[in-house]
A and B are shown apart, each in its own frame.
Chain A
Amino acid sequence: MTNSLNDIRHAKSMIFIGSNPPEAHPIAMQHILHAKEKNNAPIVVVDPRFTKLAAKGTDYVRVRPGTDAAYMMGLVNAVITNGWEDKDFLSKRVAGFEEMKEVAAHYTPEVVEDITGVPAADVTRVAKLLAMNRPTSLTWCMGGTQHHIGSSIVRAFCILQLVLGNMGKTGGGTNIFRGHDNVQGATDMCILSHSLPAYYGLSDGAWQHWCRVWDVDYDYIKSRFKEKEWMNKKGFTLSRWYEGVIQEDKIHQYTPLKAVFQWGCGPNSNSQYHKVKKAYDMLDLIVVVDPFPTMTAVLGEKDNIYLLPSSSQYETSGSVTSTSRQIQWRHKVVDPVHDSRTDYDIMADLVKRLGFADEFYKNIKQVPEDITRELGRGSLTIGYNGQSPERIKKHMENWHMFDIDDLQAKGGPCDGEYYGMPWPCWSEDHPGTPILYDISKPVMEGGLPFRNRFGSVATYVMSGREEVQLAAKGVCNPGSEEPGGYEEFKDVVPGTNWKTDLSQKTIKEALSKGMAPFGNARARCVVWTFPDQIPIHREPLHSPRPDLIEKYPTYPDKENHYRVDTRYESEQDPELVKEFPYVITTGRMVEHMGAGAETRSNKYLAELQPDMYAEIHPRTANNIGVRNGEMVWIESPEGGKIKVMAKVTERVDDKTIFLPFHYGGMFMGESLSDKYPEGTEPYVVGEPGNIITNYGYDIITQIQTTKDGLCKISRA
């Protein structure tokens, strides 16, 4: 989130696309409804389903799954053609606008209607609604990202906010709601295969930086790899790790995967889950660390699994980073119960037995405070250095002193600081940054310009135009020594920059000049390293519209995409819709969480949602001859099939079928209840919805496409 949950209270309008907070983020709703009530702010809900948010919204827009980019570019175009864009903001703080405008011009309301199914008049109406009620808070979640063009879709969202001039303003921003209380923290630590913690990447410089932080010899780390080149290569992703075992697509690694370690991972959130089962049956070793046995524990046929019971969040402590980038301290409530052990404890034993405990624990004597200190010392890119465990705890103890509207403490021991010191928090004296890219405040009071990350000048291939990427003259935070754009700080300590100077002298130098360590640049509409430099619509890999596949085809196949060849062009078959006529999309329900191992083991939550179901429109139901509560078979083009209860509802339209993805413990019609270790069988078992989700991965991030795909359905 560029802003915070609380800051939504200042929004004059809100647009949600692929986000359903009443089910996925109920806590956020109090701020959303506050803005609705107090500011009379319209809530525009863009979603293939009439969600519970739509029930609370003022304007509901039903889009076809996977066409979000087209809809957004349509809004951008409508704003520009009607002259509603923020011209001042665009000329001073945005780069590549002219080039983007050319591309957006294609998405006239009529074109958008053809692609998305939204009436042309509605496109202009919503554009006007947002333009006339600024600032607008824009929120997306996985409904926006989990497409093969997900990276283009989210960029289109950002571009809309730039065009409306809503960035860096209270009540505006791109507010992506993250999952549970520490998903942002997990992201910041880059529990991913393409980057070291805090988005440093995998370059030699990044490795050297973190080796210095860890106080571990770089050559020692290097010696742990087979060859040095593997240090800099992206690994397999969570979406496709199983290809490293089953190799249905060609892999680029010297050996297939032999073991998998799942730590707090809901495995049935993997698309094409039936293929994951194949991998389970081929692996030598599977280790599951979780408070409850996940579906991994029961799905495999082979005796190759170890279950390590970990304690819950209430039985341990540590820092967590919320969706609003706020860092909080989670205190322990009780000691671990039953045979469980804390994650720290399990990790310590593991590290000891693997034989590198000395290197691992060099800076960590006091768990977990020293962990927070170490990661803070290294994560300079995102300003984690100011939030010491002591400061975090002080904020927790003085909760009541922070203002609900702007998160700032008024008086008291945390005077002037923002709750949780939202990152970046550049130093121990910095109050935290409640709103990113806000140039109305001095940097030392939580203000920031856009980051200078991609050079000072760029030439666009599509137009041949050269443009300065730094902010225009006069655009800077109050008190800045440089009255306009400037580059990032480097060589204050020779050979380092603000990200790698562990003495933090560079950062302090910038702060003392009233400037941001990362420079002051423009937000760019053109990303010259992406295949689509400016976001465009591409039909979902498995599209129900053969005519549009021709017009908006997908990418060419991509070789060695996170170590596995990934099909695009060769997968997009216009004939597929004939056999698989319905669009499948997945989502969450409020009662269950993630893959549901925990919540389905709670009797009260199980009581509220006891059955896996598929939402189908009454017309679909009547056409296939099934009534509410009867069972249906749903099949995917990849050969997955599930038997689930039909929930006949007008939430979905007659071309779409919706599945919640929280269920597990059944597999293609068969219950696996008896395979759980004694006494751990969940109260509720059901088919994982992800057995039906289709092939398809984002071109940049390789996120799976669980929100668009095709399927067929029949009465069971």
Chain B
Amino acid sequence: MARMRFLCDVERCIDCGGCVVACKEGNHVPVGINRRTVVTLDEGKPGEKAISVACMHCSDAPCIAVCPVDALYQRDDGIVLVSKKTCIGCGYCFMACPFGAPQFPKGTFFGARGAMDKCTMCAGGPEETFSAEEHKLYGQNRIAEGKVPLCAGMCATKALLAGDADVVADVYRKRVFQRGSGVNAWGWNRAYTKK
């Protein structure tokens, strides 16, 4: 089975935030929850760089390992999803995540966190595929429709790649070859190297 992965090409990312807005609009994510975010470093100085960051859907995902209620799970295609009905909002996944992916809405009880929300790679959630419930809790299920996630689909410069790991790696490899200079695909070692 294809292994789904993200890759953000730093040389291509132009810091436009299109991925962030596409994700939020398409999945009706509440304001304040950032399934995806663009981080800019050295803004306004030579060397300024930006990168789009979200859940990387790691192999050996630390979030799954630390979840006390087993709310997180990994599909066969590598996509890591959370069951919002099981999640207790403890925040352990956020502490374990090397990418700052898990997000928590404010709950009502003494500021308790609500169920964790994170990038689903536009693959919905554990609820029945294409059900109203799935759409309400997790947003679109574009993977089931055979489409790429909204963020990558939106990316103007094709900096953000998503899909079958082999294809993504191939596209990136060609680019690196074309540029004649190699830069490691950010986050790939951490996310996808099996320990």
Contact = CB atoms under 8 A, between A and B. Distances in A.
Please tell me whether chains A and B touch each other in their complex, using a CB distance cut-off of 8 A. Answer: yes
Contacts of A23: 16
A40 B11 CA distance: 13
Interface-centre pick from B20, B21, B157, B180 (highest chain A CB count, 10 A): B157
Given A23-B16, A38-B178, A603-B31, A55 B158 contact: no
Contact of A26 (B44, B48, B157): B157
Contact of B43 (A22, A40, A607, A649): A649
A604 B31 contact: yes
B17 A608 contact: yes
Contacts of A608: 17, 20-21
A47 to B, nearest CB: 12
Nearest to A607: B31
A84 interface: no
Given A29-B156, A30-B158, A33-B157, A52 B15 contact: yes
A604 B156 contact: no
Contacts of B21: 591, 604-605, 608
A600 to B, nearest CB: 14
A649 B24 contact: no
Nearest to B42: A55
A649 B18 contact: no
A37 B178 contact: yes
Interface bracket on A: 20 to 34
B12 interface: yes
Contacts of A651: 43-44
Contacts of B156: 26-27, 29-30
B45 A50 contact: yes
A40 B16 contact: no
Interface string B43-82: 1111111100000000000000000000000000000000
B179 interface: yes
Nearest to B22: A604
A590 interface: yes
Contacts of B133: none
Nearest to A31: B157
Interface string B10-40: 0110111110110011000001100000000
B136 interface: no
A685 B2 CA distance: 47
A60 interface: yes
A620 B54 CA distance: 36
A575 interface: no
A275 interface: no
A52 B50 CA distance: 10
Contacts of B32: 607
A22 B14 CA distance: 6
Contacts of B11: 33, 37
A591 B11 CA distance: 21
Contacts of A605: 21
A56 interface: yes
B178 A604 contact: no
B157 A649 contact: no
Interface string B165-195: 0000000000100111000000000000000
Contacts of B157: 26, 29-30, 33
A405 interface: no
Contacts of A38: 178
B49 to A, nearest CB: 7
Interface string A565-597: 000000000000000000000000011000000
Contacts of B15: 22, 52, 55, 590
B18 A26 contact: yes
A404 to B, nearest CB: 11
A615 B49 CA distance: 19
A60 B46 contact: yes
A215 interface: no
A29 B159 CA distance: 10
Contact of A591 (B17, B44, B158, B178): B17
A650 B15 CA distance: 17
Contacts of A55: 15, 47-50
A29 to B, nearest CB: 5
A56 B16 CA distance: 13
Nearest to B14: A22
A40 to B, nearest CB: 7
B180 A604 contact: no
Interface string B94-115: 0000000000000000000000
A22 to B, nearest CB: 4
Contacts of A650: 44-45
A60 B48 CA distance: 13
A361 B15 CA distance: 47
A607 B25 CA distance: 12
Closest 5 CB pairs of A and B: A651-B44, A55-B48, A22-B14, A26-B156, A649-B44
Given A37-B11, A607-B31, A649-B44, 9 more contacts: A29-B14, A30-B157, A30-B158, A33-B11, A40-B180, A50-B45, A52-B15, A591-B17, A604-B20
Interface of B: 11-12, 14-18, 20-21, 24-25, 31-32, 43-50, 156-158, 175, 178-180
Interface of A: 22-23, 26-27, 29-30, 33, 37-38, 40, 50, 52, 54-56, 60, 590-591, 603-605, 607-608, 615, 649-651
30 contacts: A26-B14, A26-B16, A26-B18, A27-B156, A29-B14, A29-B157, A30-B12, A30-B156, A30-B157, A33-B11, A33-B12, A37-B175, A50-B45, A50-B46, A52-B14, A55-B47, A55-B49, A55-B50, A56-B14, A590-B15, A590-B18, A591-B21, A604-B20, A604-B21, A607-B31, A607-B32, A649-B44, A650-B44, A650-B45, A651-B44
